Amino acid sequence: MRFTSPAQKALVVAVLFGVNLVLALVFDALHSEVASIVLTVLQVLGWYIASRVFRGPGESVRAPRPWWRMTNRPLLSGVLGAGYSLLAVTNIAFSFAGFGSLSGSVSILAELVLAALFLLSFSRLRAASPARA
């Protein structure tokens, strides 16, 4: 299944955020480091799966998307990559300030992985886009 329209994509994102919120509330109630790590892994998997099933204008619906392609447009990849980079730097600062934990370290690693994937996607999509006059 591939999602191509903005409405379909918005619905998938809303469902993912809803599931994420419910899991975050349940796992927070458990006060479990392991549950927090599981949630982080599920969030990364959710992003990656969404990037596989979303398609932008001009993209083949049938052909598999290259592993590195996270979005259809360089700007969106760049914005998300910068956002995850900033989030990772902020959380690293909090860790150095004494708020570190194992689940926090896993979250930082996940943010760095997502930042790297989005920035790689930005770089490759930008290089492949036609030169603008």
Give residue-wise pLDDT tens across range 86-109: 999 999 999 999 888 898 899 999
Site of tokens 């689940």: 103
DSSP annotation of 101 reads -
Give residue-wise pLDDT tens across range 68-89: 999 999 999 999 999 999 999 9
Structure tokens at 26: 């349940």
- List C-alpha distances in Å: 7 to 2, 12, 62, 71: 13, 9, 20, 16
pTM: 0.84
CA distance 102 to 114: 18
CA 90, 21, 4, 63: dihedral to nearest 10 degrees? 70
Give the residue extent of every domain in the chain.
Answer: 6-128
